[in-house]
Amino acid sequence: MLRGRSRFALDTGSGGVKCIIPADGLGGEKAVAVIKEPSCIPGNRVFRSICLGAVAIFLTGCACVLAPPPGIGSTGTDVVILNATTRTVTVTEVGQNSGRDLVSTLNAGEERVALWHFTTGSKVTLRAASDTGTIFYCHQFTYEELRPSGNRVLIEEGQLDCS
């Protein structure tokens, strides 16, 4: 069993690390070993783990900043729907292949935020009906069509262009 303290020094001639261990603990005879593989040095694994962890965090941060935005519809698109009429309307949102319609009521001048999911080339149909059930607004929106409007949709009388 070795007593005393060890110290490490870089041995440039051998390309490794020289480990100097006093044999008697008082600075007498010394045992010297040259370690060529730095991973064998006690404590080096901790240092290497810390460095690798820091590099991983740094690269993850870079990937988040430099990565392109996710594709269309991956998290949904917030859309503001505004009832620009003077009456209360029933709004129906129909997504392509969604299997269900979302129905809500908007008072005159009221707006609400909806989350629409698009896939490439898909459309969301928005219909508005009066309290008697007469449809007076119907339009199919694509993702590309919404972008220039700032994702805002105005429900107005007379737009009936659904196919």
Parse the chain into domains and list their residue ranges: 7-66, 77-155
- Give yes or no for residue 56 having a pLDDT over 60: yes
Q: Model confidence at 117, in pLDDT bands (50, 70, 90)?
A: confident
pLDDT of residue 88: 95
Classify domain 77-155 by CATH architecture.
Answer: Sandwich (2.60)
- Identify the residue with better confidence: 54 or 68: 54
d(CA 98, CA 50): 47
Supply the pLDDT for residue 82.
96
Tokens of 132: 């008697």
Q: What sign does the dihedral 109-112-118-122 (CA atoms) show?
A: negative
**pTM to 2 decimals?**
0.53
